[in-house]
Structure 1
Amino acid sequence: MSRVAFVILVLGFTGNLSVALRCYICGGSNCQTSFEGTDAECTSYTSPRCAVTRYEADGIVTIFHRRCIEASLCADGCEEGDISGVHTKACIDCCDTDLCNTGTLFTPFVLLLIGGTVTAVGISATMSK
Structure 2
Amino acid sequence: MSGVALVILILGFISNVSGALECYFCSGINGCQTGFEDNKTECRTQTSPRCYVARTEVNGHVTNFSRGCYEATQCNFICQWASPGDVTTTMCQECCNTNLCNTGSARGAGTFMTPIIHLLVGGTVMALAMSTATSK
Q: What is the Cα-based RMSD across aligned positions, in Å?
A: 2.6
- Residues 87-126 of structure 1 mapped to structure 2, 5 A cutoff: 87-106=88-107
| Partner SS for 2:88 | strand
Counterpart CA distance in 1 for 2:23 and 2:102 is 7
2:54 corresponds to: 53
1:25 corresponds to: 25
Q: Percent identity?
A: 47
- Farther-moved stretch of structure 1 (98-107 vs 70-79): 98-107
Counterpart CA distance in 2 for 1:82 and 1:32 is 24
Counterpart CA distance in 1 for 2:84 and 2:72 is 28
Q: Following TM superposition, by how much is the alpha carbon of 1:106 offset from its aligned partner in structure 2, in angstroms?
A: 3.8
Compare CA radii of gyration and give the structure with the larger one.
2
Counterpart CA distance in 1 for 2:91 and 2:109 is 15
1:112 corresponds to: none
Counterpart CA distance in 2 for 1:17 and 1:58 is 45
Counterpart CA distance in 1 for 2:71 and 2:58 is 26
Counterpart CA distance in 2 for 1:15 and 1:57 is 43
| Partner SS for 2:73 | helix
Structure with higher strand content: 1
- Residues 2-81 of structure 1 mapped to structure 2, 5 A cutoff: 17-30=17-30, 31-81=32-82
Counterpart CA distance in 2 for 1:49 and 1:64 is 17
* Code of the aligned partner of 1:22: E
TM-score (norm 2): 0.64
Q: Following TM superposition, by how much is the alpha carbon of 1:86 offset from its aligned partner in structure 2, in angstroms?
A: 1.8
TM-score (norm 1): 0.67
Count of residues in correspondence between the two structures = 98
Structure 2 runs not aligned, ≥5 long: 1-13, 111-136
